[in-house]
Amino acid sequence: MNLIGEHLSKSYDQDLQNLVNLFLKMGGMAEANLTKAIESLVKSDVELAEDVIDGDKEINFTEQQLDDSVVKVLARRQPAATDLRLIMAVSKCGADIERIGDEAKKIAKMARRATREGQSPIGYHEAHQMGNFVQMMLKNALEAFAKFDATGAYRVIEQDSEIDAMYKSASRAMMTYIMEDGRYVAKVIDILWVLRSIERIGAHARNIAEQLIFCITGEDVRYQKLGAKKDSALNPAASHEINDASLDYQPSTGEN
């Protein structure tokens, strides 16, 4: 199974390749912003938080470019079957990446305010732990998309249940601070919003994985349980490389 490179028109192949490359570039930007947002929180780094807030504009601009490119390909090529699934997956996943950027910006804004107000680091350990986990989820989702790897996509879906459990556990831990001292209410509410943003990023990473599975197999797994569906959807051809699509995806190293 080869989603790109089977057309008589090489320019059509290039159009599809460009869409995937642009999406992966956007994903790499969001991943970097997420890494910096979490770091700005745990290190009380206002400058890094400002960098995330400013960087969100570039993600939004790239989404506009992606949307324009999708419309042009649809109008010029009138795709069907697998091509149409690929294009729609890129379009929908682009929206998820944009929202991941928004959530990272929310975290950065909270980090900036907390640092300026000199708030104690209540819940920062939980936020750091969850943040590291969703960074891994997003990285795995983008790498799966770069390789059209259905197995990797299913792995991301499985990880989403873990982040949900971490979110519930962290939220309960935050409640103990309020019960111990009512003066912590405002600080706890702030960190709960951060934890919620991190949980939502995990959900968006899952959305990307689900769209990828649909793109590869035609199987809509959004509202289905894993298990039998996973086994039936996978096949030896489910994992393969898309030319140089991964070249525009630069995984975050966590460095400033």
In the prediction, which pLDDT does 78 show?
Answer: 86
The residue type found at 204 is H
Question: Distance between CA atoms of 177 and 172, rounded to whole angstroms?
Answer: 9
In the prediction, which pLDDT does 228 show?
Answer: 45
| CA distance readout (Å), 34 to 137, 156, 176, 210 | 12, 17, 27, 21
In the prediction, which pLDDT does 88 show?
Answer: 93
Return the closest-CA partner of residue 144 out of 246, 15, 12.
Answer: 246
In the prediction, which pLDDT does 36 show?
Answer: 97
What is the model's pTM? 0.85
In the prediction, which pLDDT does 218 show?
Answer: 86
Question: Distance between CA atoms of 112 and 50, rounded to whole angstroms?
Answer: 8
Nearby residues of 168 by Cβ (< 8 Å), 6 or more positions away: none
61-98: burial string, b at 16+ Cβ within 10 Å, e else: ebbeebeebbeebeeebebeebbebbbbbbbbbbebbb
**Residue 57: left (phi > 0), alpha (psi -120 to 50), or beta?**
alpha
Number of helices (H), then strands (E), belonging to the chain: the values are 7, 0
Helix spans in 78-123 (H): 81-117
For helices 124-147 and 185-217, what crossing angle results, to 10°? 10
In contact, 18 and 245? CB cutoff 8 Å: no
Going residue by residue through the chain, which has 256 residues, state the pLDDT in tens, using 9 for 90 and above.
455 656 657 788 889 989 999 999 999 999 999 999 999 999 999 999 999 999 999 999 999 999 999 999 999 988 888 889 999 999 999 999 999 999 999 999 999 999 888 877 889 999 999 999 999 999 999 999 999 999 999 999 999 999 999 999 999 999 988 888 777 788 889 999 999 999 999 999 999 999 999 999 888 888 776 554 555 445 534 444 444 444 445 555 444 4
| CA distance readout (Å), 106 to 192, 201, 215 | 12, 11, 31
In the prediction, which pLDDT does 231 show?
Answer: 52
In the prediction, which pLDDT does 137 show?
Answer: 97
Angle at 104 between CA 36 and CA 67, to 5 degrees: 115
Question: Distance between CA atoms of 141 and 136, rounded to whole angstroms?
Answer: 9
